[in-house]
Structure 1
């Protein structure tokens, strides 16, 4: 009797000390919105190219399998207008250098928990406004980038597909519907998270959008002209000071007297020139 009782005691103790396994919440807002974090978004002059760099972070405690991450340029916007970039976009640019299109894709068979990968693609622009619209010196403009993440995650021993999308995949009407009070009150996971009805959007989570800028750079010649004018007036002020303080800088004083005399002799005939009578 003692042996079975001792074994039962060990089983009870093991059950008490062993913490129950916690299922991964793949759609938790605090994990989904940190999957993608932008490191560097380029600000380009028309015709330039630049790196768009971002981190793909595994915010989960379990591995992600069959991961596909997609980034695409989907909207052009200024203060005055906002234009969707789709099949009807009439311009050849901007585009992504690695693919020659406006989309870029990265895949991985497995992403381990807690890892972070620095990814990037090259944004290519055109100098001619006939090839792509862009901002001017006094007008800001941006091209927006949207992301989607597809992967398989373990749910109670079953591999389940998940899809996360950024707001750029949804129309304004659909987004307003998904965030309306009627659709989010009450907001019960997993169909609703962070006051966004995911069932209406047809996704398991919402990742952030991003953007890059394309505008004509501020010309440098006004800056150089201001520096030149400042230097000129500084020298002129020094010469007037030398004139008012004779003997301080004899050589400079003598040179300034000769130069001023030449200027007077050159300007004097112009002052006394009279307009000939008809």
Structure 2
């Protein structure tokens, strides 16, 4: 299907952030080491024509935590999360599944996406007990044919900081999305995403803190009422408890010394 606009306008239309395929509805797992989960998203064709020969590539490429940041290749292969099965389906249709091309990426090959059609993608993320904790970043690449022209979209993770800065600053022309796509050699920018691997924080310190807070709050009220001397029965009970405690303490000291 040929669009009724000139070639120069086709580029602006094709690369406009509001027209490129929409990556949305991400569902990203938060895993404990040793667990597995599903990473999923949807992609909608927002062009006024079909796109064909669609290929989508997702890759884990970076890890970061509060202390440091590193590329995936800097992590020992035994300590990395892995990707296994990847599946896709047109919305409300049957899934098409295959094994991942390697342990760090998922690839989806789809014949076509019709106008406004949505495809659902998912892949399995697996970890081991010794998988390094942190936030793992996933970058995406999408290629397809539109209006008899091959197109390529990529996410931020494919360029280093210097390349990205050069493409987004000191622009002399009106580029789609204020990004020099020619410098990056792509037809549009799609989002990165991420998932997390982290051991759960132990809950017993929180429970202990809550218990101690309640106990000390109760004691403060009791001692306040004792000072006010408005509850004589309470004063008698406190004196009795102090006596029992002192008796217990003296008995304990005597046994320890003997």
Q: TM-score range by the shorter chain?
A: 0.7 to 0.9
| Structure 1 residues 150-161: aligned runs within 5 Å | 150-154=143-147, 159-161=148-150
TM-fit CA distance, 1:260: 5.0
Distance 1:173 1:119 in 2: 31
CA RMSD of aligned residues (A): 3.3
Distance 1:29 1:234 in 2: 57
TM-fit CA distance, 1:122: 2.3
Q: Determine if contact 2:50/2:146 at 8 Å carries over to the other structure.
A: yes
Q: 1:239 to 1:111 in 2, by over 3 A?
A: same
Distance 2:209 2:202 in 1: 13
Specify every segment of 5 or more residues in structure 1 that has no aligned partner in the other structure, as ranges. Answer: 1-19, 135-140
The answer to whether the aligner puts 1:224 opposite 2:193 as a matched pair is no
Q: Determine if contact 2:135/2:196 at 8 Å carries over to the other structure.
A: yes
The answer to whether the aligner puts 1:81 opposite 2:68 as a matched pair is yes
**Equivalent residue in structure 2 for 1:214, among 190, 197, 204:** 197
Secondary structure in 2 aligned to 1:268?
helix
Bigger Cα Rg: 1
Per the alignment, residue 5 of structure 1 pairs with none
Specify every segment of 5 or more residues in structure 2 that has no aligned partner in the other structure, as ranges. Answer: 86-99
TM-fit CA distance, 1:96: 1.3
Secondary structure in 2 aligned to 1:29?
coil
Per the alignment, residue 231 of structure 2 pairs with 245
Per the alignment, residue 37 of structure 2 pairs with 50
TM-fit CA distance, 1:274: 11
Q: 1:236 to 1:177 in 2, by over 3 A?
A: closer
Secondary structure in 2 aligned to 1:31?
coil
The answer to whether the aligner puts 1:262 opposite 2:249 as a matched pair is no
**Equivalent residue in structure 1 for 2:19, among 16, 19, 31:** 31
TM-fit CA distance, 1:262: 3.4
TM-fit CA distance, 1:244: 6.3
Count of aligned pairs: 231
Distance 2:114 2:136 in 1: 32
1:57-88 superposed Cα distances (whole Å, 9 cap, x missing partner): 111111111111111101112344332224x6
**Equivalent residue in structure 2 for 1:205, among 161, 181, 188:** 188
**Equivalent residue in structure 1 for 2:76, among 62, 71, 90:** 90
The answer to whether the aligner puts 1:64 opposite 2:51 as a matched pair is yes
| Structure 1 residues 101-250: aligned runs within 5 Å | 101-128=103-130, 132-134=131-133, 141-154=134-147, 159-181=148-170, 184-187=171-174, 192-233=175-216, 236=219, 245-246=231-232
Distance 1:185 1:79 in 2: 37
Secondary structure in 2 aligned to 1:218?
coil
Which range moves more in the overlay, 105-114 or 239-248? 239-248
Q: Larger strand proportion, structure 1 or 2?
A: 2
